[in-house]
Structure 1
């Protein structure tokens, strides 16, 4: 049922968002493939992200779902709607603090499959972690195809699936260096 609704929204809209804020903030977005996710995440770094899904759809579109552990105020809802309705224009990505990620908490597998590489991250949950990661992926122009983010007991377990291409293969060490802090 949700898949049909999301597909229909993606077919009819280049960009669409909706959210629910009853028990916690749940934000869903259909957007162009090269949508800068880091801007949304950085604007919500004061909230506790507990779950995120990212799926590549069709016609160069993506579906994003963010679940936060918080309920936002009416003023925050208004600001979020303004940001999303402006299509992020005029929004400057604020400086994102580099999270602490140990080398053994990061696993990059360029041979995950013939077409995809996999990045696994199991680290302490930190404010701004996902915004930082998405900003790095965006800077390196990596093509993210799928992501599964889960936070349980102050630990985040993340899986990112990237399209395997020359950019990724040439920036492997740079990616690791930008992510690890120890």
Structure 2
């Protein structure tokens, strides 16, 4: 039995004992599933968590978004971002950064640029990671004028 399967067995025992694990335990399990590249299992667990009534926090959403983006499932991460915005959990810079970086690595630069602007319009200021991702993305497609524009925005906003 692997470490992750052992953790699931413990959670099962917790439920059988009449106790309920908190969202932190489930988030830890999600992280483990992504670490083992068990993307579908992570998605199923996340769906089950919400189905049985747990309220996911930004750390849980962040774990899902990061895991989805790092495994090449950026479109699913965007869907999750949209679900977050419909619910009570507001996306933060970490979640936007993961998706922007994932889009750039997937060469979906226009989507990344749109999300960058959307993020700013919602009052979330880009940080050095945001700018690094978007600048690398536009440079990978030889979009030099866009790169210069983002560098200027970064400098003008005081991010370094």
- TM-score tier by shorter-chain length is under 0.3
Bigger Cα Rg: 2
Higher RCO (CA 8 Å, separation ≥ 6 residues):
1
Query: What is the TM-score when the length of structure 1 is the normalising length?
Result: 0.26
- More helix as a share of residues: 2
- More strand as a share of residues: 1
Query: What is the TM-score when the length of structure 2 is the normalising length?
Result: 0.28
